[in-house]
């Protein structure tokens, strides 16, 4: 979701967090703790072409971070606010007694010098997102918000998804081959 409102950063992140939790409640089966803590992540620090490698690298970095209170996270964001191009909120981890919100930001300087003049005075774009697992069957099926952290359920779902994917790819290749022959 995108907000283009000129409010202070504290109010913007608070509203975005509410929207994020609404999305999680709509698409995920987890009970989400309202005890919220935050981590901050520079998006450009985890670059890779492969989504699975990006996810693994991001999780390694995030495990080392100390979650912060809302006020601490806002204070850190305010220090770099003018240099931020884009802010994205995700649920990093939801546990019984706490939910960790990952505030991912992308700096204007990472866009390159050709964008400097056109975006220099623009406020950051704001989004809240949830990452969909590749094994999700349809738009109505709910999933575990913690799927990106791995675990038995994730591995089981990925095993079946890969099996079905390979079977469908093999079937498609056979049918395509028969049509072209």
Q: Give the tens place of pLDDT for each residue, 16-67.
A: 999 999 999 999 988 899 999 999 999 876 666 677 788 888 889 999 999 9
Question: CA-to-CA distance for 10 and 28, rounded, in angstroms?
Answer: 26
Q: Give the tens place of pLDDT for each residue, 157-181.
A: 666 567 776 656 666 566 555 666 5
The tokens describing 102, both together, are 């990952």
What is the chain's length? 181
- Residue 35 makes CB contacts below 8 A (sequence gap 6+) with 97, 98, 99
- Residue 86 makes CB contacts below 8 A (sequence gap 6+) with 43, 105, 106, 124, 125, 127
State if pTM tops 0.85.
no
The tokens describing 56, both together, are 């693994």
């Amino acid at each position: 979701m995108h907000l283009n409102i000129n409010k202070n950063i504290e109010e913007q992140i608070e509203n975005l967090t509410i929207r994020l939790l609404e999305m999680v409640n709509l698409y995920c089966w987890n009970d989400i703790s309202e005890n919220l803590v935050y981590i901050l992540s520079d998006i450009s620090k985890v670059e890779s072409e492969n989504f699975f490698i990006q996810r693994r690298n991001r999780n390694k970095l995030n495990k080392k971070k100390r979650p912060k209170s809302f006020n601490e996270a806002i204070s850190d964001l305010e220090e770099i606010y003018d240099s931020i191009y884009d802010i994205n909120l995700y649920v990093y981890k939801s546990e019984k007694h706490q939910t960790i919100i990952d505030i991912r930001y992308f700096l204007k300087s990472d866009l390159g010098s050709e964008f400097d003049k056109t975006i220099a005075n623009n406020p950051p774009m704001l989004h809240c997102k949830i990452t969909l697992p590749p094994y999700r069957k349809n738009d109505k099926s709910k999933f575990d918000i913690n799927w990106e952290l791995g675990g038995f359920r994730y591995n089981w779902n990925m095993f079946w998804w890969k099996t079905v994917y390979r079977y469908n790819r093999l079937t498609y290749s056979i049918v395509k081959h028969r049509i072209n022959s």
